[in-house]
Amino acid sequence: MKILLLLLLLITCNLTVERNSLLDLLTLTRSTKMSSTDTSTPTTNEVTISYPNSSYTLTQNDAISTITATYVGTATGCTISPSLPSGLSISTSCEISGTPGAGSPKTTYTVNLTTLEGTGQTTLIVGVRQSAFLIQKGVAGVNSRADKLAIAPDTSKLICGESAGSLDGETLTGTEAAFFSLFNPGGTREWTKLLNGSTGSTNCTDVIAAKDGSGFYGVGHTTSSLGGNTLIGNRDIFLGRLDSSGNGTFLKTKGAAGATAYATGMDSDSSGNLYIGGYVNGAGLDGNTLTGSSDIFVIKYDSNGNWLGTVQKGVAGNVSYNYRIYVSSTDHIYISGSTQGSLFRTISSTYDCILIKLDTSLNFLWGIQYGSTDAGKICQGYNIVEDASGNLIVLGYTGGNFDGNTVTGSYDGFITKYTTAGSHISTKFFGSAGSTIYTYGMDKDSSHNIYVSGFVTSSLDGISVTGTGDAFVRMMDADGNFIRSKLIGSAGKNTYGNAIVVDELDDIYQVGHTYGSLDGNTLTGNIDYFFTNKNKP
């Protein structure tokens, strides 16, 4: 019996050991498999990808040479973000090809490459300049003039001016209407809007793009009640906003009983506040007292058109004009114009140029009066830009000698520079014997070269006019040293270059008006407006 019990005990123990060994084996095997699954991940190699250049400037409607990427491996796919400009495509091997269909701003693109060996990423800057064009438009029997233009972030261009006819099929009311025409990045006109009341005339004198890219602001003056606003003076100023589709967001007018007010320019600060410059006679604006026969003014609005303040300045018994207003990179406001009075010095000529600095609260900081001291001479100050050091470059024209410069023609153009504290740096004239030069517009490129737009008779920089007077563009460095010039005109006729804008690709766009036929176009009205990028020197 004892022997039997012992045998049973041995058998039971052996079975338990075998069972436990089997469980241990299963557990070990499962543990080993789980460990292998958790810790083993595919290996991704980094692939270096590059293009011959980091930035490309292409031209609308010009097929490009394929831009080939360099990398090691076998490509299986390639993506780019955001999408390339219309007409361009990217292959699975990251080659870029095609023909750009429209202008496009400089944009940074991210390229992602996938190969059998791994993945890679790089960035590329691409911009597309608009192909060369000259557009001439008018209405039979009447005058149409383009005064200013602005470029939106997507490179659309808005032109403003005035027309005495039904421009682009829009219905004219009154005798003359302000017009606004938008051209898309491909150069096609998207829309035209006319602005006027039932009587009188309305003129647009400046337009700027909203900083957020949502539309445009336009300013000018009118002799009519406008958009539900009642005419107060003989002539009131207006401020309006258009969205990118041409719909009006708001329209404000301002005047004073017995006053004739002219808005001549507009700019905005870094917060989007708007500053309108101009001049007024007959009465002061917003409670200001008229000092001279005509006073200069600056009016401040917020981006929604709410009035924030008005200042005025003049000289008793004399006229003063504000032709341009400029907001600097440091948010200071500068006014350029002229005066017949002793505003900041005793005047001895007929007109002196003036330059005035204000802060964003419209406090006067300093003023300068300059020009010829010879009797009967005039000086007219126009556009302002900054050089690389923040100094002020002021454009104008004059019939008298000053700052050591001698007038060559009847009127010469000039560039004068001042520090932000109002200290004079330099002045340079440009003109030619027997010529009259009027300067109307100025802008600068990315290298701080400046481009001046205007009107010239006879010749400029050795180039003879085609008509009786031509529109010109003159390129200079920031010190006013001549680089090159270009003229455009029509035989026996006058053509005026009223404004110029340089885009981020350093292409120039000029608007103006002509009494003739330009670049193969036929004159439609008595005066037509023109819009071109062909006049770059």
Is the pLDDT assigned to residue 479 strictly greater than 80?
yes
Tens-digit pLDDT profile for residues 85-142: 999 999 999 999 999 999 999 999 999 999 999 999 999 999 999 999 999 999 999 9
For 37, the 3-state DSSP assignment is helix
How many C-beta atoms lie closer than 10 Å to residue 214's C-beta?
A: 15
Q: Where in the chain is the domain with CATH 2.60.40.10?
A: 45-128
- Mean pLDDT, range 385-409, rounded to an integer: 97
CA–CA gap between residue 233 and residue 240 (Å, rounded):
19
Q: Is the pLDDT of residue 15 over 90?
A: no
Q: Which part of the chain has CATH 2.120.10.30?
A: 132-532
Mode of pairing for the β-strands spanning 215-222 and 236-243: antiparallel
Alpha-carbon torsion 314, 317, 318, 322, what sign? positive
CB 368 within 8 A of CB 344: yes
* Terminal alpha carbon distance of the chain: 124
Report the percent of the chain where pLDDT is more than 90. 90
Phi, psi for residue 14 in degrees, rounded to 5: -65, -40
Q: Are 316 and 339 in contact (CB under 8 A)?
A: no
Spatial distance between the Cα atoms of 508 and 452, rounded to a whole number of angstroms: 10
Give the C-alpha separation, 403 to 416, whole Å.
9
What per-residue confidence (pLDDT) applies to 44?
66
- Domain 45-128 matching CATH 2.60.40.10: the answer reads yes
Give yes or no for a contact between 273 and 331, defined as CB atoms under 8 angstroms apart: no
Inter-CA distances, 39 with 43, 46, 223, 461, 528, Å: 12, 21, 82, 77, 77
The whole-number average pLDDT for the span 444-448 is: 96
Query: Cis omega (within 30 of 0) on the bond before 537?
Result: no
Residue 81: Cβ within 10 Å count? 9
**For the residues 232-254, what does the mean pLDDT come to?**
97
Handedness of CA 225, 230, 233, 239 (dihedral sign): negative
Task: Give the single-character DSSP code of 411.
Answer: B
Residue pLDDT, tens place only, 379-395: 999 999 999 999 999 99
* Residues in contact with 348: Cβ distance below 8 Å, sequence separation at least 6, in sequence order: 373, 374, 375
C-alpha distances (whole Å) from 457 to each of 50, 55, 506 are 52, 41, 27
Q: What's the pLDDT tens digit per position in 170-208? A: 999 999 999 999 999 989 999 999 999 999 999 999 999
Q: Which residues pair with 415 in a beta bridge?
A: 395, 428
Q: How far is CA 523 from CA 139, 149, 481, 499, 513, in A?
A: 9, 21, 36, 20, 11
Instruction: Note every long-range contact of 285-292, with CB atoms under 8 Å and residues 24 or more positions apart, other chains counting.
Output: 285/254, 285/255, 285/256, 285/259, 285/261, 285/310, 285/312, 286/254, 286/256, 286/310, 288/312, 290/259, 290/314, 291/315, 291/316, 292/316, 292/317, 292/318, 292/319, 292/320, 292/341
Give the pLDDT confidence of 320-358 residue by residue, as tens digits: 999 999 999 999 999 999 999 999 999 999 999 999 999
Yes or no: domain 132-532 corresponds to CATH 2.120.10.30: yes
Q: What is the CA radius of gyration of the chain?
A: 34
* pLDDT in the model for residue 6: 38
CA–CA dist 106, 110 (Å, integer): 13
Q: What confidence tier does 3 reach under pLDDT thresholds 50, 70, 90?
A: very low
Look up tokens 């991210």; give the residue: 110
Task: Look at phi and psi of residue 212 and say left if phi exceeds 0, alpha if psi is from -120 to 50, else beta.
Answer: alpha
Contact 151, 129 (CB under 8 A): no
